[in-house]
Homo-oligomer: A and B are copies of this chain.
Amino acid sequence: MTVREGETLSVLNQQVGGGWIEAQNSRGQTGLVPVDYLQVCLSTCLSYLSVVMMMVMMMTMLMMMMVMMMLMMMVMKVMMMMKVCSTAGFEDDDGDDDDGEWDDDWDEGSMEGHAPGATGDGEGGMGEVGPVWLYPQSPLDCEVTDPKKGSKMYGLKSYIEYQVIPTSTQRPVNHRYKHFDWLYERLLEKFGSAIAIPGLPDKQVTGRFEEQFIRGRMERLQGWMRRMCRHPVVCQSHVFTLFLTYQDQKEWKLGKRRAERDVAVGQMIFSLMDPEAPEMDSVEKYEQYSRFTKAMDDGVKELLGVGQTHWKRCTGPLPKEYQRIGEAFINLSTVFSSSGYQGESTLTDALTSAGTIYQEVAEIVAEQPKRDLHFLLETNREYKGLLGCFPETLAVHKAAIEKVKDGDKMVAAGRISTQEKTTMKQRLSCMSYSLQAEMNHFHSNRIYDYNRVMQLYLEGQVKFYEEVPL
C-alpha cells in the first residue's frame, strides 16, 4: 500500500508488532505502515467524536425534514380526495330514494311533520347496507366561534355567549351554554327513543370564565353541533332549524315556547314514521346491535382510559424527567469546566449540547399530546357519548319485541284485539327500520371519523419521532 503525506488512514490492527500497523487508506487499499509515519493524536480523536455526534444529529434531522415534506405532499393529496369521497359517500347513502319530502308546517298541536316521512313519501331508503335515513340534498354544518363575555341585570350576572354560524344561512346567531342545554333537552325528549342524542360537554361552575376552559368548551360544543348537523333527521327538525336560524329575540322566544309544547315526543316518534316497505323482523339485528354497541363502548372506554393516563404521563412526569436529565448533563458540564484540568472542552461541549437537546425533547414530548392524542381522545369522548345513548334506544326496542312475542297469548286471553296485535307488529317493523337506519348512520359516521382520527394520530406520531432532535 502506498501512503502519501497528509493522507488519513483507518487503523485496522495495532498489534502487528515490529513497529508496523495494519491500516486502510481512503481508496480501500490495506497494508502495513511504519508506526513512525503515522500521527495519531488525542485531540483529533476527541474532536472527531464530537463531529460525528453533530453529523449524526444533522443527518437525522435532514432525513426527517425530507420525510416530512413528502408526508405533507401526500397528506394534501389525500385531503383533496377525501373531500370528494366524503361528499360522494354521503350522497350514495341516499341511494335512489331521493324524492322524499319533509313537511315544513309546524302547526301547534299537530303531530305531523316533525319526523321523517310523515307525509308518507318515505323517510329514507334501502341502500346496500339496508335502511338508511333520507339525507338532505345539501349537507348542513356549522361553526361555533368567538366566545364573548356578556352581562345581564346591570352587570350583576355575567355569562359567555358563543356565535353559531350555520353553512345554510352563513348568518351568525348568539347562544349561551344554557341554550345549547335547552336544545339538547328538546332533541333528547323528541328523538331520544330512536336517535342517539349525545350529552353536552360537562357543566362546570368554577373557573368557567378561564380562557382555557372556554376554548375547550367551545371546541366540544362545536363538535356536538356538527354531529347534530350531520344527522339527517335532527338537522331537518324545526327545533334545530330554529336554534340555528332565528331572526330575532321574538322569533326565538316564540319558537322556544312552541317547541316546549310539542307533544310529538318520546316513542310517539315511531308513529310518525312510515317506511313504506314490507314488514321486517328485527330480533337478529337488535341482538347484533346490542352486542356491537356494548363491545364498542368497552373498546372506546378502554382506549380513553389508557389515553388519559398516557396524556397525563406525557404532559407531566415524562417531560419533567427529560428536563431533569438535560439539567443534570448541563450541571455536570459546568462542574467539569471548573476542574482546572486541561483539554476537556470537547467533553463539556458534548455534555452541554446533550443537555440542551434533552430540554428540547422535554418540550416536544410535553407539546405532542396536544397535537395528536388530543383529537384521538376528543373523538373517542364523542363516541363514548353517542354509545351511551344506545342502551336506552335498544331497551325501547327490546320492550316492543317482547310485547309482540306475547301478542298471540294476549289475543287468546282477550286482552287485546287482533287488530291491535297487527298494529303492534307494524309498529315494531317501523321501529326496526328506524333502528337500522340509525345504526347505518352511526356506522358510516364511525368509519369516516375513525379513518380520519387514525390518519391524523399516526401522522402526528410519525412527525413526533422525526422531530426529536436525536
> Which residues of A are interface residues toward B (Cβ below 8 A)?
10-12, 14, 40-42, 44-46, 48-49, 52-53, 55-57, 59-60, 63, 66-67, 70-71, 74-75, 77-78, 80-85, 87-89, 92, 128-129, 288, 291-292, 295-296, 298-300, 302-303, 306-307, 309-310, 313, 317-318, 321, 324-325, 327-329, 331-332, 335-336, 338-344, 346-347, 350-351, 354, 440, 443-444, 446-447, 450-451, 454-455, 457-459, 461-462, 464-466, 468, 470
Contact = CB atoms under 8 A, between A and B. Distances in A.
B317 A56 contact: no
Given A63-B67, A89-B42, A455 B49 contact: yes
B87 A338 contact: no
Nearest to A59: B67
A12 B306 contact: no
B341 A321 contact: no
Contact of A84 (B11, B74, B298, B440): B11
A53 B458 contact: yes
11 contacts: A11-B83, A14-B84, A45-B81, A59-B70, A313-B321, A336-B450, A339-B443, A341-B444, A347-B450, A347-B451, A350-B454
Contacts of A464: 470
A406 B64 CA distance: 67
Work out how many copies of this chain go into the complex.
Answer: 2
Nearest to A53: B458
B332 A306 contact: no
Contact of A341 (B11, B60, B129, B295): B129
A52 to B, nearest CB: 5
B318 A318 contact: yes
Given A10-B77, A329-B303, A465 B465 contact: yes
Contact of A318 (B55, B71, B313, B466): B313
A276 B178 CA distance: 92
A468 B470 contact: no
Contact of A309 (B67, B306, B321): B321
Contact of A443 (B52, B83, B325, B341): B341
Contact of A128 (B59, B78, B342): B342
Contacts of A45: 78, 81-82, 84-85
Nearest to A325: B306
A76 to B, nearest CB: 9
A306 B335 contact: no
Question: Which of A71, A299, A313, A354 has the largest count of B CB atoms less than 10 A from its CB?
Answer: A299
A458 B329 CA distance: 12
Contact of A81 (B48, B53, B59, B447): B48
A69 to B, nearest CB: 11
A63 to B, nearest CB: 5
A302 B321 contact: no
A300 B332 contact: yes
Contacts of A444: 341
Nearest to A353: B458
A299 B335 contact: yes
Nearest to A21: B84
Contact of A468 (B40, B303, B328, B465): B465
Nearest to A44: B81
Contacts of A332: 296, 299-300, 303, 450
A58 B347 CA distance: 36
A324 B313 CA distance: 14
A351 B84 contact: no
A81 B40 contact: yes
Contact of A459 (B56, B300, B346, B454): B56
Contacts of A461: 470
Given A292-B338, A332-B300, A341-B443, A451 B350 contact: yes
A325 B307 contact: yes
Contacts of A309: 321
B303 A447 contact: no
A344 B446 CA distance: 10
Contacts of A325: 303, 306-307, 310
A7 to B, nearest CB: 15
Question: Which of A87, A303, A457 has the largest count of B CB atoms less than 10 A from its CB?
Answer: A303
